[in-house]
Homo-oligomer: A and B are copies of this chain.
Amino acid sequence: MDNFKFYSPTEFVFGKDTEQEVGKLLKRYGAKKVFIHYGGGSIKQSGLYDTVIAALKTEAIAFVELGGAKPNPIDTLVYEGIELCKQAACDFVLAVGGGSAIDSAKAIAAGALYDGDFWDFYDRKATVRKALPVATILTIPAAGSEGSSATVVTKESEGLKRGMGSDLLRPKFSIINPELTMSLPMWHTAAGIVDMMSHIFERYLSKTKDVILTDRLCEATLISIMEAARKIVKEPNDYEARATICWAGTIAHNGSLGVGREEDWLTHGLEHELSALYDMTHGAGLAVMFPAYMKYVLDEDVERFYRLSTKVFGVPENHFHKREVALEGIERLMLFFKEIGMPTTLKDAGAEKVDIPKLLETLEINQGKSFGRYKKLTLDDARKIYELAWE
Contacts and interface: CB of A to CB of B under 8 A. Distances in A.
Interface of A: 1-16, 18, 209-210, 212-213, 216-217, 219-221, 223-224, 227, 239-240, 243-244, 247-248, 251, 256, 259-260
Q: Which 10 A/B pairs are nearest by Cβ-Cβ distance?
A: A3-B15, A216-B220, A210-B240, A9-B9, A213-B224, A6-B12, A7-B11, A220-B220, A1-B243, A213-B244
> How many monomers of this protein are in the complex?
2
Nearest to A6: B12
A2 to B, nearest CB: 7
Contact of A3 (B1, B16, B213, B216): B16
17 contacts: A3-B15, A3-B16, A5-B11, A5-B14, A7-B12, A9-B9, A9-B11, A14-B260, A210-B240, A212-B227, A212-B244, A213-B220, A213-B221, A216-B220, A216-B224, A243-B260, A251-B256
Contacts of A221: 213, 216-217
Nearest to A218: B220
Contacts of A256: 251, 256
Contacts of A18: 3
Nearest to A240: B210
Contacts of A239: 1
A7 B14 CA distance: 11
A260 B239 CA distance: 13
Contacts of A260: 14-15, 243, 247
Nearest to A238: B210
Contacts of A2: 15
B14 A6 contact: yes
A247 B216 CA distance: 13
A13 B11 CA distance: 20
A249 to B, nearest CB: 11
A244 B209 CA distance: 12
A237 to B, nearest CB: 14
A247 B5 CA distance: 12
A15 B4 contact: yes
Among A227, A240, A248, A256, chain B packs the most CB atoms within 10 A around the CB of: A240
A244 to B, nearest CB: 5
Given A3-B14, A7-B10, A217-B217, 9 more contacts: A1-B243, A3-B16, A7-B12, A8-B9, A9-B11, A210-B243, A213-B220, A213-B248, A251-B256
A360 B57 CA distance: 53
A18 B221 CA distance: 29
A203 to B, nearest CB: 15
A266 B223 CA distance: 31
A172 to B, nearest CB: 10
B5 A259 contact: no
